[in-house]
């Protein structure tokens, strides 16, 4: 039992949830290691949404709203951490949701789908095909889902798949706390924020953006600027760490 007055209460609760989801076969053990890397970067960024991450979240909303076939690609960590937030974003944006896994088994797909559906997410189903030019299992996706998408939001992506999606002409939005990752640098748009903080900002923007602001956000989108700003945040925090 984690005492609510523990200074790291939220982080410990999240770890406990991920551990339970790993035992239940929703999160891969490798996903726990990936979460640890995210936690480290969250510490550096101050465990808060920075102004540039908020700008990125609003731009993501604009991209989803103006897309023809937007798809949200969900893995085990995202489902374990943010199933409710995915449901809210799906309802606000009209995007389809597809489960896509690095460590893919039909059983894991079923478990993750069930967890998402319990939170009101409508999950695409059908026969997956090896559509992406990748040697690992993330190559498998649904022709009517990610296969047909023009914009793909992938919270917690890996660099290879992000590049493969981009090479297929898709606009890729990622949420990644590490502004140095290959994923962050390959995506069309990176939200450098923790996934459960980032998604509600995207959802809120889906409801309050007007068409002119949405178009302006897309025209002025600059991922290199967003990553540089996130790195500057970290440098500033580190340089004042012992003040």
Which residue do the tokens 């450098």 mark? 192
What does the angle CA 99 – CA 102 – CA 103 come to, to the nearest 5 degrees? 100
Residues with Cβ within 8 Å of residue 177, at least 6 apart in sequence: 37, 38, 41, 42, 45, 192, 193, 194
Q: Nearest-CB residue to ligand ATP?
A: 38
Task: Please check whether residue 81 is in contact with residue 11, taking contact to mean a CB–CB distance below 8 angstroms.
Answer: no
Q: Which stretch binds ligand ATP (CB under 6 A): 64-72, 87-95, 126-134, 179-187?
A: 179-187
Binding mask 64-103 for ligand ATP (x = CB under 6 A): -----------------x----------------------
In angstroms, the CA 229 to CA 153 distance is 21
Q: Does 34 bind ligand ATP (CB under 6 A)?
A: yes
- Choosing from 182, 200, 204, 218, the residue that interacts with ligand ATP (CB under 6 A) is 182
**DSSP assignment string, 16-79:** HHHHHHHHTTSS-HHHHHHHHHHHHHHHHHTSS--HHHHHHHHHHHHHHHH-SSEEEEE-HHHH
Q: Which residues contact 158 (CB under 8 A, 6 or more apart)?
A: 102, 138, 182, 183
Q: Does 163 bind ligand ATP (CB under 6 A)?
A: no
Q: How far is the CB of 140 from ligand ATP (least distance, A)?
A: 17
Q: Residue 118: left (phi > 0), alpha (psi -120 to 50), or beta?
A: alpha
H and E: helices and strands count for the chain = 10, 7
* 176 is an interface residue for ligand ATP by CB under 6 A: yes
Shortest Å distance, C-beta 163 to ligand ATP: 9
Q: Which is nearer to ligand ATP, 28 or 214 (CB)?
A: 28
Query: Does position 190 bind ligand ATP by CB under 6 A?
Result: no
Q: How far apart are CA 226 and CA 192, in angstroms?
A: 8
Piece in contact with ligand ATP (CB under 6 A), picked from 29-37, 52-60, 210-218, 235-243: 29-37
Give the binding range for ligand ATP (CB under 6 A) out of 36-44, 48-56, 106-114, 217-225.
36-44
Nearer to ligand ATP by Cβ, of 85 and 158: the residue is 158
Q: Is 214 in the site for ligand ATP (CB under 6 A)?
A: no
Q: Is 159 in the site for ligand ATP (CB under 6 A)?
A: yes
Residue showing tokens 């970290």: 234
Number of residues that bind ligand ATP (CB under 6 A): 18
Binding site for ligand ATP (CB under 6 A): 34-35, 37-38, 41, 81, 156, 158-159, 175-178, 181-183, 194-195
């Amino acid at each position: 039992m984690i005492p609510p007055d523990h200074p790291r209460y939220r982080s410990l609760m999240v770890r406990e949830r991920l551990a339970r989801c790993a035992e239940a076969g929703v999160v891969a053990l490798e996903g726990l290691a990936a979460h640890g890397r995210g936690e480290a970067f969250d510490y550096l960024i101050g465990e808060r949404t920075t102004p540039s991450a908020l700008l990125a979240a609003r731009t993501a909303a604009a991209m989803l709203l103006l897309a023809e076939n937007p798809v949200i690609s969900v893995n085990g960590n995202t489902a374990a951490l943010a199933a409710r937030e995915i449901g809210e974003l799906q309802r606000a944006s009209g995007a389809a949701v597809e489960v896509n896994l690095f460590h893919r088994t039909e059983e894991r797909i079923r478990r993750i789908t069930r967890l998402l559906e319990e939170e009101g997410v409508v999950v695409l189903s059908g026969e997956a095909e090896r559509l992406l030019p990748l040697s690992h299992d993330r190559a498998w996706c649904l022709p009517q889902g990610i296969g047909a998408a023009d914009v793909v939001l992938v919270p917690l992506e890996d660099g290879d798949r992000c590049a493969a999606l981009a090479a297929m002409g898709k606009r890729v939005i990622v949420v990644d706390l590490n502004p140095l990752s290959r994923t962050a640098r390959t995506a069309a748009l990176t939200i450098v924020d923790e996934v459960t903080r980032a998604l509600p900002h995207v959802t809120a923007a889906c409801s309050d953006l007007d068409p002119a602001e949405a178009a302006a956000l897309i025209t002025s989108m600059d991922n290199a600027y967003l990553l540089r700003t996130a790195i500057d945040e970290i440098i500033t925090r580190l340089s004042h760490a012992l003040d």
